[in-house]
Amino acid sequence: MVLYVTIGFMSLVYLLIGLGINEKNAEYLLAGYNTVSEDKKKKFNLTKYLMFFKPFFIKLSLFPLLSWLFLSLVINIDQVQILLWSLLQLTPFVFFLKKSIGTNWNIEQ
C-alpha cells in the first residue's frame, strides 16, 4: 500500500511541477535560474526552456506508474522489483540533463 501511495505522490509532484512552472514564477522556482544575475537572465530564453521543461515533467508524471506496471509483469520478486524501479526513476533525468545541457538556451542576437 505504501508503495502505491509513493508512486501516486511522485506522479502528482511531477504533474504539478509541469503544470505549475511558468514565466512569472520561474524566477523563484527554477533551480539555477533563481540565482543567476539579471544580465544572464536577459540573455536566457526562458520561454524556449519552458517549452522543453513543462511537457517533460507532464509526461514524466506517467513514468512512475508505467515503469512499475512494466516491472511487475517482468519481475515477481518484490525486493528486486522495488530496487530496479527506484533505479529506473533516474533514467528520464539523464535524458533531461543531456538535452538541457546540450541546448543553447540563449536568446538569439
Q: Which of 47, 45, 49 is nearest to 57 (CA)?
A: 49
Residue that the C-alpha cell 539523464 belongs to: 94
Q: Where are the alpha helices (DSSP H) in 1-109?
A: 2-20, 26-29, 38-43, 46-60, 63-74, 78-88, 91-102
Q: Considering all CA atoms of the chain, what is the largest pairwise distance in Å, rounded to the nearest integer?
A: 56
33-38, long-range: CB < 8 A, 24+ apart: none
Average pLDDT along the chain: 91
Give the integer Cα–Cα distance in Å for 109 and 100: 20
pLDDT at 60 over 60: yes
pLDDT for the residue numbered 3: 84
Average of per-residue pLDDT across 52-66: 96
Give the integer Cα–Cα distance in Å for 73 and 94: 25
pLDDT for the residue numbered 94: 94
Q: Please write the tens of the pLDDT for every residue from 66-92.
A: 999 999 898 888 888 889 999 999 999
pTM across the whole model: 0.86
pLDDT at 34 over 90: no
pLDDT for the residue numbered 109: 55
